Chains A and B, each alone.
Chain A
């Protein structure tokens, strides 16, 4: 059974860089039929897709985050990561990592439990 687990700081200061890692077990990030994505949810709000990465090194990020976001896959450690620079209070959210399919509707079929990140001033 595939499992994803986010890790990283729960508290980040404004203007600093947020780095999160998602460890994958029970499957491989080198899969050619899956993307590895990040979705966030601000307190009491809906879901926002923020970025995807692929084992080849390709990455796709939500334009709303402009150049602040980078995502990558680490095949050696079977994990993938997110780096968000110049964070503000608006980046306070629960961050989920998830596996995206490249087929059959392309949904996110497995999710991590989520990690709450609070940006403080």
Chain B
């Protein structure tokens, strides 16, 4: 099975900050890596697919990069609406297996 290591698990940040979240996989997933945002009591929302493709309607302050086994989600100029938990997800073995990272919770400093 492909293991996911997402870091950090939580981050205390301020509005206007630049945030970087890292996701590492135990073996290559090429670019089958997706990022989601989840707010309390809500379903996850797809932000980025294929490591770096921003979904329609997602603000351009979100960006993704990486390939192989190391990926990053960057949020520039953090806005109040961005305080949430973020998950990476690999779909390399889709449809037989998917794995999510442990999540990164952004908290207000």
Decide: A47 and B94 in contact? CB cutoff 8 A: no
Main secondary structure, interface of A, reads strand
The answer to whether B43 and A105 have CB atoms under 8 Å apart is: no
Among A37, A107, A112, the one with the most B-chain Cβ atoms within 10 Å of its Cβ is A107
* B contact residues around A106 at 8 Å (CB): 32, 34, 49, 91, 94-95
One of A52, A98, A109, A114 near B95 (C-beta < 8 A): A52
In angstroms, Cα B95 to Cα A101, docked, is 9
Does B69 sit within 8 A of A, measured CB to CB?
Answer: no
Collect the chain A residues with CB atoms within 8 Å of residue B99's CB: 49
Task: Tell me if B44 counts as interface (CB < 8 A to partner A).
Answer: yes
Q: Decide: A105 near B51, CB < 8 A? Known: A47-B87, A113-B43.
A: yes
Q: How far is the CA of A96 from the CA of B98 in the complex (A)?
A: 15
Which of B43, B50, B103 is A46 in contact with, Cβ under 8 Å? B103
Q: Are A105 and B34 in contact (CB under 8 A)?
A: yes
Contact call B44/A105, Cβ cutoff below 8 A: no
Which size bracket describes the interface of A in this complex? 20 to 34
The reply to whether B87 and A54 form a contact with Cβ atoms under 8 Å apart is no
A37 to chain B, nearest CB (A): 8
12 A-B residue pairs with CB within 8 Å: A39-B44, A47-B103, A48-B100, A49-B99, A60-B95, A62-B97, A100-B94, A104-B49, A105-B34, A106-B91, A109-B46, A113-B43
Which residues of chain B have a CB within 8 Å of any CB of chain A?
31-34, 36, 38, 42-46, 49-51, 53, 55, 87, 89, 91, 94-103
